[in-house]
A and B are shown apart, each in its own frame.
Chain A
């Protein structure tokens, strides 16, 4: 135990301490103010700075093999903290209009990010599990934070019951992996899988190990809402507050992917290993990816409510990232990292715009409500159009390069069929993304007087504009992100 271990997990400490501080502030505050929001933003930025500072340090495994601290964890810490800052900024106006106090909300966001960072830096299966639970429990509460609304309660309860069930699978998978390999340490599991360390002959059983991996896949596939473990996603995302749905469907998913990569391509199925059953597990992952992409995109076509449409499209996006995981190679890991960053920007700002446009009485979700938006709210319509183009993966925007790397990874892994499925499902997806643009720009609202409402420059608008600007910059200079990640994951 030494001082450096604490430096290695400094972003986590900053996030947790800020969360506690926000909680205390909320408890002692007489008149609700925006200080908790400010504190959250400062804490998130502090975590980003600490993570950036750690990027240059030598990689360590802190606390006796519990936490990784390397460029991989640094990168994910940065994008999770950035997602938290973005969602906190998007929520201010949204919560104020619904007379909610922002303190509790911000504290929960920060605690869930703590869980995500633990998942991305868990060097031990127990830490991964702890992170998963810390994140999930904060999410269960966040989904039901509008406790007087029935839909919010329903979403929270559904998510809680199904989520705990999936966590049980994950935990049982961990138990089986531990039972066969005799260790929970990912680095030690890796050496056993690579054949560098002897398998514990007394307990090793490839059947139980495969079973354990499948259980872990079930648990994580639930968290990323991959087909066929997706049923909760549309209901939960539709029922929970829009800004929360945006946060859960982006940061929560990418956190699950960050530990997917640590568990599979890194520890349990190392690329170079010739391991009994590894092709089978790869095929399982590939099939999950293919089904998620096709199912999410096909079902999203028939949706008439924008939140449900985004929920189904998020299932498809989980499929794209799962494609990168199933490739089990370097390109796949890079692809997932790039896509995570881009996906967080796209989806959080998409949900952010929906949250700005929805009305406090729970209306404004129908796609019909977006007819003629370009006349009423020209700026928001413009930003949403860019986001939709990026989500569809149209080249000048950042979404394209994320997809490009993922499909490349699948081809490099010799799974051309999977890349073809990905491309076909992207084409299907472009229909419903472009439909939103058509509704906003090329359709006249019949009965409404078209009055242009000037945009108020508030935190939500600034956050959305910032995210879209980042999408544009990353789309026009993709080498910025790709080189950074290439440098970090070398």
Chain B
């Protein structure tokens, strides 16, 4: 158990540090509110419409598909780094992995998930 005490301490310090830093300017900073200062920040433009805009579901689909192929890179990278040590078997395994993702890619292509209209 005693192994965990430094970890616990680090947790406490990290939370405390974060909480203090996030609130420090609020506590000690001078506050002179005016109407312009309190209005929504839009880089100097007049705010238009509501904050909670409805976003087309296509963006989510693209985002999800992006994550899948992003994860592919995450797996490819360590494989590429240790490639000379793990040899031909890993090459085969990695190609299998890529092939599975490629099948998924063909599927989304044929199903029209990437067509914008």
Interface residues of A (CB under 8 A from B): 1, 20, 23-24, 26-28, 202-203, 205
Among residues of A, the one whose C-beta sits closest to the C-beta of B111 is: A27
The one of B3, B100, B103, B111 in contact with A203, judged by C-beta atoms closer than 8 angstroms, is B3
B103's partner among A1, A24, A205 (CB-CB below 8 A) is A24
Across the interface, name the chain B residue whose C-beta is closest to A23: B107
> Do B110 and A28 touch across chains, with their CB atoms under 8 A apart?
yes
**8 A–B contacts, CB within 8 A, in A order:** A20-B103, A24-B107, A26-B107, A27-B106, A27-B107, A28-B110, A202-B3, A203-B3
Q: How many interface contacts (CB-CB < 8 Å) are there between A and B?
A: 17
Q: A1-B89, A28-B110 are in contact. Are A23 and B103 (CB under 8 A)?
A: yes
Q: Chain A residue with minimal CB distance to B93?
A: A1
What's the nearest-Cβ distance from chain B to residue A4, in Å? 15
Query: In the complex the two chains form, what is the Cα distance from A306 to B32 in whole Å?
Result: 65
Contact assessment for B1 and A205 in the assembled complex, using a CB-CB cutoff below 8 Å: yes
Closest CB in chain A relative to B84 CB, distance in Å: 18
Shortest distance between the CB of B109 and any CB in chain A (Å): 8
**A176 to B: closest C-beta gap in Å:** 12
Q: Which parts of B15-58 form the interface with A (CB within 8 Å)?
A: none
CA of A205 to CA of B3, assembled, Å = 12
- The 3 tightest CB contacts between A and B, nearest first, are A27-B110, A27-B107, A20-B103
Report the minimum CB–CB distance from B92 to chain A (whole Å). Answer: 11
Measured CB to CB, the nearest residue on chain B to A179 is B4
Residues in A whose Cβ lies below 8 Å from that of B107: 23-24, 26-27
Look across to chain A and name the residue whose beta carbon is closest to the beta carbon of B110.
Answer: A27
- Contact residues in A for B110 (Cβ distance below 8 Å): 27-28
Assuming A20-B103, A24-B103, A26-B107, what are 12 further A-B pairs, CB within 8 angstroms? A20-B100, A23-B103, A23-B107, A24-B106, A24-B107, A27-B107, A27-B110, A27-B111, A28-B110, A202-B3, A203-B3, A205-B1
By beta carbon, the residue of chain B nearest A202 is B3
Residues on A with beta carbons closer than 8 Å to the beta carbon of B3? 202-203
In the complex the two chains form, what is the Cα distance from A27 to B1 in whole Å?
55
B114 CB to nearest A CB, Å: 13
* Chain B residue at minimum C-beta to C-beta distance from A207: B1
| Chain B positions within 8 Å of A23 at CB level | 103, 107
Chain B positions within 8 Å of A28 at CB level:
110
Instruction: Tell me, in angstroms, the Cα distance from A486 to B111 when the chains sit together.
Output: 48
Whole-angstrom distance from the CB of A279 to the nearest CB of chain B?
A: 23
Q: Mark B101-117, 1 if CB is under 8 A from A, else 0.
A: 00100110011000000
| Bound form: Cα–Cα A202–B1 in Å | 9
CB of A6, distance to nearest CB on chain B (Å): 12
Q: How far is the CA of A26 from the CA of B3 in the complex (A)?
A: 54
Query: A29 → chain B, closest Cβ, in Å?
Result: 9
Q: Which of B69-114 contact A (CB under 8 A)?
A: 89, 100, 103, 106-107, 110-111
- Chain B 1-19 interface mask (CB, 8 Å, partner A; 1/0): 1010000000000000000
Task: Tell me the minimal C-beta distance from A476 to chain B in angstroms.
Answer: 45
Neighbouring B residues of A1 by C-beta, 8 Å: 89
A1 to B100, CA, bound (A): 21
What is the CA–CA distance of A205 and B1 in the complex, to the nearest angstrom? 8
Closest to A28 in B: B110
Task: Tell me the smallest distance from the CB of B2 to a CB of chain A, in Å.
Answer: 10
Residues in B with CB closer than 8 Å to A205 are 1
In the bound complex, CA of A369 to CA of B16 (Å): 62
**Minimum C-beta distance from A277 to chain B (A):** 16
Rounded to whole angstroms, the CA-CA distance of A1 and B88 in the bound complex is 12
Residues in chain A near residue B100, CB distance under 8 A: 20
Task: Report chain B residues within 8 Å CB of A20.
Answer: 100, 103
What chain B residues lie within 8 Å of A202 (beta carbons)? 3
A23 CA to B100 CA, complexed, in Å:
11
Closest chain-B Cβ to A43's Cβ sits at a distance in Å of 15
User: How near does chain A come to B90, taking the closest CB pair, in angstroms?
Assistant: 10
Residues of A within 8 A of B89 (CB): 1
**List of A residues within 8 angstroms of B111 by Cβ:** 27
Determine the chain A residues whose CB is within 8 A of the CB of B1 once the complex forms: 205
Q: How far is the CB of A15 from chain B (nearest CB, A)?
A: 14
Neighbouring B residues of A24 by C-beta, 8 Å: 103, 106-107
Distance in angstroms between the alpha carbons of A28 and B109 in the assembled complex? 10
Determine how close the nearest CB of chain B comes to the CB of A62; give it in whole angstroms: 15
- Best-buried of A1, A20, A27, A205 by chain B (most CB within 10 Å): A27
Select from chain B the residue with minimum beta-carbon distance to A21: B103
Residue among A23, A202, A203, A205 having the largest count of chain B Cβ atoms under 10 Å = A23
Whole-angstrom distance from the CB of B110 to the nearest CB of chain A?
4
Question: What is the CA–CA distance of A28 and B112 in the complex, to the nearest angstrom?
Answer: 12
B residues near A27, Cβ cutoff 8 Å = 106-107, 110-111
Minimum CB–CB distance for A138 against chain B, Å: 14
Cα A203 to Cα B3 in complex, Å, equals 8
Residue of A nearest to B108 (CB): A27
The smallest C-beta distance from B78 to any residue of chain A, in angstroms, reads 17
Q: Which residues of B contact A26 (CB under 8 A)?
A: 107
CA distance A68 to B100 in the complex (A): 24
Q: How far is the CB of B98 from chain A (nearest CB, A)?
A: 14
Minimum C-beta distance from A94 to chain B (A):
22
CA distance A23 to B110 in the complex (A): 11
A202 CA to B4 CA in the complex, in Å?
A: 11
